[in-house]
Structure 1
């Protein structure tokens, strides 16, 4: 298996080097350079390698996660806590924070749902920051009082 992976990586490396030399020069206008076949194939190779890396890392993460019941329980608690933060943020978000007519006059078409989703994202960010700072302060305080 290791030899196959090495051969595939060597082939991809040689192919990428060939495509690199076929890229358009600096004097080619950007509108023409975007349609370059070499550039498109390089993007395809990049996306392929990225997909393989994500799939392998996800596979090994899930394998290790399900191998240890304690880590699975802890992970599920963290995911549940994050979902709780998202639900709280959604409840706290208000879709009427801005004047939708004024946004439409400026050429930005939006809806109350979009504004509520943006508010939810901001609330999630701020709540997670508060939780992170609070946990750092709690850990530091706990260390100081134990000694």
Structure 2
């Protein structure tokens, strides 16, 4: 039996279990709602865990089935962008006093991580826009 058929059966079984719990939640009285909602959450956690496991299996399977060198170069380029973004973020750009007065737990480390995330987003957005523009210009001139 193929992996696709097994995953299809597991998904069908989880759908039936979820439907049963949903019907029990809808038909139940008010006292049992908390227990049934907890059961629904357990089913949701199980489905999330299975989906994450399946994604990891298929990513690793696809990684070794395709061009490993190209994939590792792409991952390395992404890590380089992350390192550049983190190095460019100072964490001292923001006055932390207003946040601390409101009782928020904001530190220089938190500010540095947020700044690094923004810089990484900007770099990746610029690269995406540049690659779309490059492919568009290339398509125009190749006609």
TM range, smaller chain: 0.7 to 0.9
Aligned alpha-carbon RMSD (Å): 2.7
Does the alignment pair 1:64 with 2:62? yes
Q: In the aligned structure 1, how far is the partner of 2:108 from the partner of 2:139?
A: 46
Q: Tell me the alpha carbon deviations over residues 67-123 of structure 1, each in whole angstroms, 9 at most, x when there is no partner.
A: 33xx21111111111111111111111211111223212322311111000000000
Q: Residue 44 of structure 1: which of 39, 42, 49 is its match?
A: 42
The normalised TM-score by structure 2 is 0.81
1:72 & 1:11 partners in 2: Cα distance? 35
Q: Distance in 2 between matches of 1:5 and 1:13?
A: 10
SS at match of 1:96: coil
Higher mean alpha-carbon deviation, 98-107 vs 77-86, is at: 98-107
User: Within 1, Cα distance between the matches of 2:47 and 2:93?
Assistant: 43
Matches of residues 108-119 of structure 1 in structure 2 within 5 Å?
Answer: 108-119=104-115
- Relative to structure 1, the CA distance from residue 67 to residue 113 in structure 2 (aligned partners, 3 Å threshold; closer, same or farther) is same
Q: Which consecutive residues of structure 2, in runs of 5 or more, have no partner in the other structure?
A: none
The reply on whether 1:142 has 2:117 as its aligned counterpart is no
Q: What TM-score, normalized by structure 1, do the two folds share?
A: 0.79
Aligned to 2:70: 74
Mark the CA change 1:41 to 1:144 in structure 2 (over 3 Å): closer, same or farther: same
Aligned length: 139
Change (3 A) 1:41 1:145: same
- Which ranges of structure 1 fall in alignment gaps of 5 or more residues? none
Change (3 A) 1:131 1:18: same
Change beyond 3 A, Cα 1:63–1:20: same
